[in-house]
Amino acid sequence: MNLKQSIKMGLAKRQMRQGDLATQIGMRASSLSASAQRNSCSIQVLERIAAALDMKVSEFVALGED
């Protein structure tokens, strides 16, 4: 999974900004950005991101697999 790509695509679909997503999931924007750059996050964060984007985790992950 390409976390950075999944976030980018999910944000575009929901017309959101990364800072807005970070606020919704209880993270700082810089922490979310760092996780995306490392291509790594916990399953809990992954679940919160998917929920904030109104997606199933599997749908969110699939966005980064193109």
H/E stretch holding 52: helix 43-52
CA distance 57 to 49: 8
What CATH code is carried by the domain that includes residue 26? 1.10.260.40
Residue 39 tokens read as 């291509």
Domain tally, the chain: 1
Write the pLDDT tens digit of every residue in 2-43: 999 999 999 999 999 999 999 999 999 999 999 999 999 999
Instruction: Please list, in sequence order, all residues whose beta carbon lies within 8 angstroms of the beta carbon of residue 34, skipping any fewer than 6 positions away.
Output: none
- Of the chain, the end-to-end C-alpha distance in Å amounts to 9
| The predicted structure's pLDDT at residue 22 | 97
| The predicted structure's pLDDT at residue 42 | 94
Q: Which domain holds residue 56?
A: 3-63
**22 CA to centre of own chain:** 9
